[in-house]
Amino acid sequence: MTQQPFSRPGAIDLGALKRPAQPAAGGAPGGVPGSALGSGQAGGVTGGTPATGGSAYSVELSRDNFQTTLEASMTAPVLLMFYSATRMPESATMAHDLRQLSDEFEGRFLVGLVDIDAAPEIAQAMQIPSIPLLVGVIDGRPQPLLQDIVPIEELRTMLTQVSQQLTVSGLSGRHQPRRAEVGEGEEEALDPRYAAAQEALGEGDIDRAVAEYQKLVDANPADSEAAAGLAMAKVLQRTRGVDLNAARAAAAADPDDVDAQTLCADLDLLGGHVEDAFNRLVGLVARSAGDERNKAREHLIGLFGAVGNEDPRVLKGRQALASALF
């Protein structure tokens, strides 16, 4: 298959995303030259493994959810897989393999599957040159990873290498699993793994809750729900018995005191003032240096985890933190 160079530097701009005119029968969607689809892969070809199916860390992309999926790359990498079951069945098989692998990596990546026939406007916005195309997105910025059909074993090896490189670079974020919606009148079943920790919280035994959540995180560092529970339990532990008025007075008296500001941020968070907590520590990071700056940064990252990495306030806070650091 003839490959064309892929160049899409900088953040993806979907501000001008428009639904293109429908292509002629057998033609490619806007931005995807028909010749790049390979000989014998025009419309009318059927077969291949469909990319649909359940997965906790993958999502079929459309115009409606594309932007929010890109925003999720502020938390952890997003992999965009462009395929077509009709034009190139092998690309749909590869999309299916990526969906399967996304669960194996337990949130290290979120896989966004783009059927270029069902969502031609996304293909147009991305100006993709050919299929298959696998693009990695970190902090909203895309980077092409693969433009060939490869077996699942090679995909697994490649993703393992990418994951290792991210870890070395200090990027350790993970996506929350995507759950099916609970029907009306139904209650979401309580995961028994978290029962002991939640029982401890219900009894007001914060130390035991911290210990129970810590056990879960030690056993599986990829368990994002346990990590979030541990982060919030630690907030409760740090603020236990604190005089609210005295803590706020101390923070107001010395805006650069890391201990005073982090404690006040904890209190902000518990009081429901999530953005105030984030802004307080972002400002502290921007003003401080050395060990104090690192302490403030780590505390803020802990609060991000307590709120939840997919919360839009966390995404906004991470962007503000990046600006303060760089």
In CATH, what number is assigned to the domain containing residue 76? 3.40.30.10
Domain assignment of residue 161, yes or no: yes
Q: How many domains does the chain have?
A: 2
The span from the CA of 189 to the CA of 57, in Å, is 20
List pLDDT tens digits, range 223-258.
888 888 899 899 999 999 999 899 999 999 999 999
Domain assignment of residue 19, yes or no: no
List pLDDT tens digits, range 72-90.
888 789 999 999 988 899 9
Domain assignment of residue 176, yes or no: no
- The neighbouring-strand residues paired with 113 are 60, 81
**Which domain, by its residues, includes 319?**
193-325
pLDDT reported for residue 42? 30
Same domain? 114 vs 207: no
The band of 220, judged by pLDDT with boundaries at 50, 70 and 90, is: confident
Give yes or no for a contact between 135 and 145, defined as CB atoms under 8 angstroms apart. yes
CATH number at residue 276: 1.25.40
pTM, entire model: 0.46
The span from the CA of 147 to the CA of 58, in Å, is 20
**Predicted confidence (pLDDT) at residue 2 exceeds the cutoff of 50:** no
Q: Name the DSSP class of 222.
A: T
**Predicted confidence (pLDDT) at residue 4 exceeds the cutoff of 60:** no
Average pLDDT over residues 47-67: 71
Domain assignment of residue 236, yes or no: yes
Same domain? 201 vs 156: no
pLDDT reported for residue 76? 84
Same domain? 236 vs 146: no
Say which residues have a Cβ less than 8 Å from residue 147's Cβ, sequence separation at least 6.
Answer: 3, 6, 129, 130, 132, 133, 134
Same domain? 198 vs 314: yes
Average pLDDT over residues 122-146: 88
Domain assignment of residue 138, yes or no: yes
With pLDDT > 90 as the criterion, what percentage of the chain qualifies? 39
Domain assignment of residue 105, yes or no: yes
Same domain? 152 vs 261: no
- The neighbouring-strand residues paired with 141 are 138
Domain assignment of residue 26, yes or no: no
Same domain? 224 vs 154: no
Same domain? 122 vs 237: no
Instruction: Indicate the helix (H) or strand (E) that contains 135.
Output: strand 133-138
Same domain? 45 vs 157: yes
Question: What count of other Cβ atoms lies within 10 Å of the Cβ of residue 322?
Answer: 12
The span from the CA of 74 to the CA of 72, in Å, is 5
Average pLDDT over residues 133-140: 89
The band of 261, judged by pLDDT with boundaries at 50, 70 and 90, is: very high
Phi, psi of 81, rounded to the nearest 5 degrees: -110, 115
The span from the CA of 234 to the CA of 227, in Å, is 11
Same domain? 149 vs 90: yes
Name the amino acid, one letter, at 269: L
The span from the CA of 229 to the CA of 258, in Å, is 24
pLDDT reported for residue 110? 93
Give yes or no for a contact between 188 and 182, defined as CB atoms under 8 angstroms apart. yes
The band of 105, judged by pLDDT with boundaries at 50, 70 and 90, is: confident
The span from the CA of 35 to the CA of 27, in Å, is 9
**Predicted confidence (pLDDT) at residue 264 exceeds the cutoff of 70:** yes
Average pLDDT over residues 114-135: 90
The band of 112, judged by pLDDT with boundaries at 50, 70 and 90, is: very high
pLDDT reported for residue 253? 95
List pLDDT tens digits, range 165-203.
777 767 777 787 775 443 444 444 456 778 888 888 878
pLDDT reported for residue 75? 79
Same domain? 116 vs 56: yes
Same domain? 239 vs 141: no
pLDDT reported for residue 18? 34
Say which residues have a Cβ less than 8 Å from residue 22's Cβ, sequence separation at least 6.
Answer: 120
List pLDDT tens digits, range 9-54.
333 333 333 333 333 333 333 333 332 333 233 333 233 444 544 5
Domain assignment of residue 181, yes or no: no
pLDDT reported for residue 179? 54
The span from the CA of 55 to the CA of 179, in Å, is 9
Question: What count of other Cβ atoms lies within 10 Å of the Cβ of residue 225?
Answer: 15
pLDDT reported for residue 191? 63
**How confident is the prediction for the chain on average, in pLDDT?**
78
Tell me how far CA of residue 103 lies from CA of 106, 129, 169, 245, 323, in angstroms: 5, 28, 23, 46, 32
Same domain? 154 vs 45: yes
Q: Which pair of tokens denotes residue 20?
A: 């293109």
